[in-house]
Chain A
Amino acid sequence: EDDEEEEQQQQQQQPQVERMGEAAEVQARQREVAGLLQHGKHREAVKAALQNPPLGSHDQAVKDMNTEVVLNAICSASDSEIDKIVADLYHNSSPDLCDTLVKYIYKGLADRKYCGVLLKWHASAVNMAGLGPVVRAMTDRKTV
Chain B
Amino acid sequence: RAAAGGARGAGTGPASGRAARRRARARGTERTRSAMALRIVNAKHGITCHAWSPDRKRIAVCENSEKVIIYLNADQDKVNWIKEHELAAHDLVVSAIDWSPVHNKIVTCSHDRNAFVWTYSQGTWKASMAILRINRAALDVKWSPDGSKFAVASGAKVVPVCHYEGANDWWISKMIKKHKSTVTSVAWHPSSQLLATGSTDFRCRVFSAFINDIDHSTNTVFGDTGRTRFGDLLLEFEACNGWVEDVAWSPSGSTLAYIGHDSSVNFVSMANGSPQVQTLKSRDLPNSKVFFLSDNVVVAAGHSFNPEIYQNASGSWSFLGNLNQKGSGAGGMAVSRTYERFGKKVGSTERTWSHSRDDWAER
User: Which of A's residues lie within 8 Å of B, judged by CB?
Assistant: 2, 95, 99, 129-133, 135-136, 139-142
Contacts and interface: CB of A to CB of B under 8 A. Distances in A.
Given A129-B283, A141-B202, 6 more contacts: A2-B180, A95-B281, A99-B281, A132-B281, A132-B283, A135-B262
A131 B283 contact: yes
A37 to B, nearest CB: 30
B328 interface: no
B76 interface: no
Given A131-B304, A141-B241, A136 B263 contact: yes
B285 interface: yes
Interface string B270-284: 000000000001111
Contact of B286 (A129, A135, A141): A135
Ranked 4 nearest A-B pairs via Cβ:
A130-B283, A139-B242, A132-B263, A139-B262
B261 interface: yes
A130 B284 contact: yes
Contacts of B282: 130, 132
B260 to A, nearest CB: 8
Contacts, number: 40
B234 to A, nearest CB: 23
A136 B242 CA distance: 8
A140 B241 contact: yes
A129 B263 CA distance: 13
A135 B284 CA distance: 8
Nearest to B304: A131
A132 B284 contact: yes
Interface in B219-249: 241-242
Contacts of A140: 241, 262
A130 B322 CA distance: 14
A134 to B, nearest CB: 9
A95 B262 CA distance: 14
A142 B264 CA distance: 16
B262 to A, nearest CB: 4
Contacts of B263: 131-132, 135-136
Nearest to A130: B283
Contacts of B260: 139
A131 B284 contact: yes
Nearest to B282: A132
Contacts of B261: 135, 139
A136 B241 contact: yes
Interface centre among A2, A139, A140 (most CB of B within 10 A): A139
Contacts of A2: 180
Nearest to B283: A130
Nearest to B240: A139
Contacts of A133: 283
Nearest to B261: A139
B168 to A, nearest CB: 39
Contacts of A136: 241, 262-264, 281
A13 to B, nearest CB: 21
Of A95, A136, A142, most buried by chain B (CB within 10 Å of CB) is A136
A48 B305 CA distance: 36
B199 to A, nearest CB: 14
A135 B260 CA distance: 11
Nearest to A131: B285
Contacts of A141: 202, 241
Interface in B280-309: 281-286, 304
Interface in B246-273: 260-264
Nearest to B243: A139
A131 B284 CA distance: 5
A55 to B, nearest CB: 11
Nearest to B286: A135
30 contacts: A2-B180, A95-B281, A99-B281, A130-B283, A131-B263, A131-B283, A131-B284, A131-B285, A131-B304, A132-B282, A132-B283, A132-B285, A133-B283, A135-B242, A135-B261, A135-B262, A135-B263, A135-B285, A135-B286, A136-B241, A136-B262, A136-B263, A136-B264, A139-B241, A139-B242, A139-B261, A140-B241, A141-B202, A141-B241, A142-B241
Specify which of B263, B264, B286 lies most central, judged by the most chain A CB atoms within 10 Å of its CB: B263
Nearest to B285: A131
Contacts of A135: 242, 261-263, 285-286
A89 B259 CA distance: 26
Nearest to A96: B281
Contacts of B281: 95, 99, 132, 136
